[in-house]
Amino acid sequence: MANAKIEIVGAAEYELISDLYNAIFKPPADAKFFEKRLHHRNVLVMVAELEKQPVGFSCGYELRPSTFYSWLYGVLPDARRLGVATQLMDAEHAWACNQGYEMIRLECYNNHRPMLLLAIKRGYDIVGIRWDSRTAENLVVFEKFVSPDTT
């Protein structure tokens, strides 16, 4: 496993998040997309670096006072299978626990097998399936209770 440097970033880095997102996902999204989605929430945005190069990110926000919503993860193709997503997820869990959240919710498209497997390996339970009318695909809904001894 590579040792990624994980840093919490703010809105000033949404352009970087957009660049990483666009290198991973389609259709493209600009920084305003992230500003709109993450505006006025208890937000956590992190960037993962390997050898001082950004290779991944995660974004999430408060869904309700006891629940943090892990909205989006992305790792550049060349940095996959090095443990970057695991390190981002572990850092997010630690942060959420320190913020007093009791649960983390995550949704993942059914065809994103590596993320589905990561969620299961990191102790998430499948609690449902949700139809995404925007993409016409199913999302698997996961939840995990967090406490200092489960992060």
pLDDT band at 137 (very low <50, low <70, confident <90, very high): very high
Residue 150 has pLDDT above 70, yes or no: no
4, 33, 108, 125 from 78: Cα distances, Å: 14, 25, 21, 29
Asked if 59 and 43 count as a contact pair (C-beta separation under 8 A), the reply is yes
Side-chain half-sphere CA neighbours of 128 within 13 A: 6
Asked if 66 and 54 count as a contact pair (C-beta separation under 8 A), the reply is no
Q: Which residue blocks in the chain are alpha helix, DSSP H? A: 14-24, 31-38, 84-98, 113-121
Q: Rounded mean pLDDT of 82-102?
A: 96
- Rg (Cα) of the chain, in Å, rounded? 15
The distance of Cα 80 from the centroid of its chain, to the nearest Å, equals 15
- At residue 41, the pLDDT reads 83
Task: Specify the pTM.
Answer: 0.93
What tens digit of pLDDT does each residue of 9-52 get?
999 999 999 999 999 998 899 999 999 999 988 999 999 999 99
- At residue 149, the pLDDT reads 65
Domains of the chain: 5-145 (3.40.630.30)
3-state SS assignment for residue 86? helix
